[in-house]
A and B are shown apart, each in its own frame.
Chain A
């Protein structure tokens, strides 16, 4: 899936004024995602190769949430996913790229979404266990943190990636879950939020990651719910052009992707109603390119598949009519996580 941005811009940046009554241009977005891979003649297509497997997950998830799960050809998607797999069970962003936690999680999410764990075993002998062992090898047995790859670089995001992938593979117990939970707790800040490592500034993306991992491990009781949810609800912009949108940190600009991370975090804490859902809906809808499809980070900027999936997922979480329900923990269709996890 190409990560090329544009060509269109979200909202009024396209040179036309937005209609009074905003709605989601489902067919336009489907078409936008569908045609991303035909844009190989653009330099940016190749410069974003290091994100290709993530991009495939974003595009596929968006299509499922938009109610068009069959747009991408299953066999072609699987061919690409397996071409990114390494001997050791990890996945790289594209063929020839090193294995990394971020892409391994995307690969497992794609396989889960396509009900392809059977294909995994057929194509790769002992594939499921191999992936599990790759992930387990990245856990620091002293601190519980999870590294992105064999070269180090710990980040709370990778704990979420590991927990998501392992739980979907029904392999969570092969790592030391309580140790990772303790590590996440050590990243809690006085404001109730979490950062990328102990002491690092609270950041909505990292908070999503920590809450996702804690939800999967059934450990949300370790969170100071009211304090964190209070901080998250303060992320909503109350005035100016970005009103209704959510930001990632205090005094930062609103952004569709942060809107998802904040909203899904609040949903995991059962506090979704602590932000103004109608205002947020309007903000996300105003970031659409209503001519060519796609959603941008904020009105006036170029659209891309990353903000498209998080915009659609945010609307789904807000109960937007006509969208499939999203699972706030996995950012995947709820029907799929329910099928796999049985809950």
Chain B
């Protein structure tokens, strides 16, 4: 196999290194493998330089070569970041390189952990938002990217006036059903502390925003969840009552017109509102029956459970 190797074994720069071949542990015979010779060779040199804990430019290039072939190899990433810091390499250059890798290997999370380490050390998030927009062009729900974005917001104080809310809104304009964007919005608006839930102006703006989104797509569960979150968590002067949404829910689900419900989420909310008042328990049961039989029958058991709470609790208690 060794004679097939070329890139490293023929290079002057690597002449002093004795490559260490694969040893897949005791009991695992070294199979005669026909897989990529380039990868085999690069890995055998990696083992050798790692064994010496070599911190050098050439080792950095070697990790780059391996990452290009196999970005999921987490040990290579850790070794690479140690070299970067030990050799005081250019961190902006690292970010530029990282951009190409991240765009190519979207599902990989090591890339994001590495980016986090580098940007933290750089102490600057210049260009990060633009790059994240590029990432979102490929996949607007990438969990690693959103998690990284939250970290950026907190680390660099991007809560307000730094383009974050605008970025979220532009994503929601394109896809109002993007739950990740809704989550990020919540994080931006309320993530800084409990006092945000007492800010009347802020809460009113959020209610309006969610309502508008529901008008665009009534069966989209994200804004309905958003409204429920608001009802539960707002307090003080900004507190919202469940009952105050009765009219809004009725726009999409009316018991007087049970054949024309346009949102099962509206019907669900209506049931919860009705369950609050003992006198409305029979109507709440009607709404829950509609969900179980007509609008969301796959979850029949869940709706039955909700109904059982009505009866069991004397008709006054709704499901949480």
Interface residues of A (CB under 8 A from B): 40-43, 45-51, 75-76, 79-80, 83-84, 92-98, 100, 149, 151-153, 189-191, 195-197, 199-203, 224, 226-227, 229-230, 233-234, 236, 238, 249-252, 273-276, 279
Q: List, in ascending order, chain B residues with CB within 8 A of A98's CB.
A: 74-75, 78
Whole-angstrom distance between the Cβ of B194 and the nearest chain A Cβ = 13
A274-B70 in contact given A196-B147, A201-B143 (Cβ < 8 Å) = no
Known contacts: A149-B78, A233-B299. The answer to whether A80 contacts B27 by CB under 8 A is: yes
- In the complex, which residue of chain B has the Cβ closest to the Cβ of A47? B70
Contact B47 A274, beta carbon cutoff 8 Å = no
The chain A residue with its CB closest to the CB of B77 is A151
A45: nearest chain-B partner, CB-CB:
B35
A-B contact pairs, 10 of them (CB 8 A): A43-B36, A96-B47, A96-B75, A153-B116, A190-B186, A197-B147, A224-B320, A226-B319, A233-B299, A251-B178
Query: Residues 291-319 of chain B: 1 if any A CB is under 8 Å from the residue's CB, otherwise 0?
Result: 00000101111100100000000000001
- Does B141 sit at the interface, judged by CB under 8 A? yes
Total number of residue pairs linking A and B with CB closer than 8 Å: 147
A119 to B69, CA, bound (A): 37
Q: Which residues of B contact A (CB under 8 A)?
A: 23-28, 31, 33-36, 39-40, 47, 69-70, 72-75, 78, 81, 113, 116-117, 141, 143, 146-147, 150, 177-180, 183-184, 186-187, 191, 221-222, 225, 228-229, 232-233, 296, 298-302, 305, 319-320
Which residues of chain B have C-beta atoms less than 8 A from A224's C-beta? 320
Least CB distance from A82 to B in Å reads 8
Chain B residues with Cβ under 8 A from A43's Cβ? 35-36, 39
- Distance in Å: Cβ of A245 to nearest Cβ of chain B: 11
Q: CB < 8 Å: which of B73, B75, B177, B191 contacts A250?
A: B177
Closest to A229 in B: B302
Q: Is B301 within 8 A of A92, CB to CB?
A: no
In whole angstroms, what is the CA distance A252 to B298 when docked? 18
| CA–CA, A42 and B31, complex, Å | 11
Min distance, Cβ A157 to any Cβ of chain B, angstroms: 11
Residue of B nearest to A189 (CB): B183
The 5 nearest A-B residue pairs measured at CB? A190-B229, A83-B25, A79-B27, A201-B183, A43-B35
A7 to B124 alpha-carbon distance, docked (Å):
46
Min Cβ gap A111→B in Å is 15
Would you give the shortest CB distance from B152 to chain A, in whole angstroms? 12
B179 touches A251 (CB 8 A): yes
Residue pair A236, B179 in contact (C-beta under 8 Å):
no
Are B23 and A95 in contact, CB atoms less than 8 angstroms apart? yes
Known: A50-B70, A149-B78, A230-B302. 10 other contacts (CB 8 A): A41-B34, A47-B70, A49-B73, A51-B72, A94-B25, A151-B81, A151-B113, A190-B228, A191-B225, A276-B299
- Report yes or no: A274 in contact with B302, Cβ–Cβ below 8 A: yes
Q: Does A79 lie within 8 Å of B39, measured CB to CB? A: no
A200 touches B34 (CB 8 A): no
User: Are B177 and A279 closer than 8 Å at their CB atoms?
Assistant: no
The reply to whether B221 and A234 form a contact with Cβ atoms under 8 Å apart is yes
Whether the pair A199, B187 counts as a contact (CB closer than 8 A) is yes
Instruction: Tell whether, in the assembled complex, residue A238 and residue B35 are in contact, meaning their CB atoms are under 8 Å apart.
Output: no
